[in-house]
Amino acid sequence: MEGLLKGTYGTMAEGIAKDNESESSSSLRLILVGRSGCGKSATGNSILCQPKFESRMSAQAVTRKCQKGTVTWNGRNILVVDTPSIFEAKAQNQEMYKDIGDCYLLSAPGPHVLLLVTQLGRYTDQDMVAMRRVKEVFGAGVMRHVVILFTHKEDLGHESLNEYVANTDNFNLRILVHECGGRYYGFNNRATGEEQRKQLEELMAVIESLERELQGAFYSNDLFIQAQVHKENRGGTPGIEHWSYLTQVQAQIEKQKQELEGNMLSRVLRRVKKWVCSHVGLSAFIATCILISAAVLINWGMTRSH
């Protein structure tokens, strides 16, 4: 579901955005996602060209809550949302729903792009968990808006990022790149001055190319619409409406989780069906073997019981 002018949800979301003309509604909205320690906050600071988000090496998660930062780039407002550890396997409590709710509120009416941050050369099981959690938190459709952002680009040496991605033997990374339509870019978050400016310019080119492909659509779902409405109605202090909003957050995440599991099962079944259709002879042979084995086992069981 996307906030496209033509789309049902999009029309609503875009309409709300235009009516209010608030800063965040008219901005290019980016959300930083990925496992803890991969460099999300550092990437946010590189985009904002200022140390807005706390970023440091630590055994514990450093970023404690969702935060936003804004910058003007080439006359355009950019809103960057940094996220705490909501993409980890163990992040499954009430605090997590609050953080997810905040992330939706800060990026409502919906993000144009999600930057999936991962450290170059370290695409691990934790990154894969984070990837799955991203789909649970936002819905599987969000993948069309994802750009992979590799940090620690300076570790590449003489190899280019394209060569690295083309030659990697990390099968899971290959799948990820494929799933993201080959959209990726690398940052050296320690860069300053001209190098920092140039990498931001190149990242913006990747983002703008995706925007063109999606005809300017931002990503939306039921919860982004509710978040936008909640943002407009909300008074200063969190009250009963906020509690009810958090209940909606929890329900939406549960729904998306179930849809994801359903999708996976039907994908497996489709693959099995496709394989059977393209190997009819072999499939018939395997089925016959299974039937004969079952018959032999039943027969053996019956003779033993007598």
Ligand X SMILES: Nc1nc2c(ncn2[C@@H]2O[C@H](COP(=O)(O)OP(=O)(O)O)[C@@H](O)[C@H]2O)c(=O)[nH]1
Amino acid (1-letter code) at residue 23 = E
CB of 231 to ligand X, least distance (A): 25
The site map against ligand X for 254-273 (x = CB under 6 A) is --------------------
CB of 67 to Mg ion, least distance (A): 9
Token pair in block for residue 256: 């998306």
CB of 179 to ligand X, least distance (A): 21
Closer to ligand X by Cβ: residue 10 or 44: 44
Question: Restricting to residues 10-49, which ones interact with Mg ion according to CB under 5 A?
Answer: 40-41
The site map against ligand X for 120-159 (x = CB under 6 A) is -------------------------------xx-------
Residue 302 touching ligand X (CB under 6 A): no
Question: Restricting to residues 189-208, which ones interact with ligand X according to CB under 6 A?
Answer: 189-190
Give the residue, chosen from 42, 130, 146, 180, that forms a contact with ligand X under the rule CB under 6 A.
Answer: 42
Token pair in block for residue 15: 């309409």
Token pair in block for residue 18: 């235009």
Backbone φ, ψ for residue 220 (5° rounding): -140, 160
Give the residue, chosen from 38, 106, 204, 225, that forms a contact with ligand X under the rule CB under 6 A.
Answer: 38
Amino acid (1-letter code) at residue 51 = P
Question: Restricting to residues 60-89, which ones interact with ligand X according to CB under 6 A?
Answer: 62-63
User: Is residue 118 within 8 Å of 98, Cβ to Cβ?
Assistant: no
For residue 238, cis peptide bond before it (omega within 30 degrees of 0): no
CB of 28 to ligand X, least distance (A): 21
Burial of 161 (0-12, 13-18, 19+ CB in 10 A): middle
Give the residue, chosen from 63, 107, 126, 220, that forms a contact with Mg ion under the rule CB under 5 A.
Answer: 63
Closer to ligand X by Cβ: residue 157 or 301: 157
Indicate if the alpha-carbon torsion angle 21, 141, 96, 84 is positive or negative: negative
Residue nearest to ligand X (CB): 39
> Where would I find the H helices in the chain?
8-20, 23-26, 40-48, 94-107, 125-138, 161-167, 171-179, 193-213, 222-233, 240-278, 280-305
Q: Residue 1 gets which letter from DSSP?
A: -
Amino acid (1-letter code) at residue 247 = T
Query: Footprint of ligand X on this chain (CB under 6 A)?
Result: 36-42, 55-57, 62-63, 151-152, 187-190
Query: Footprint of Mg ion on this chain (CB under 5 A)?
Result: 40-41, 63
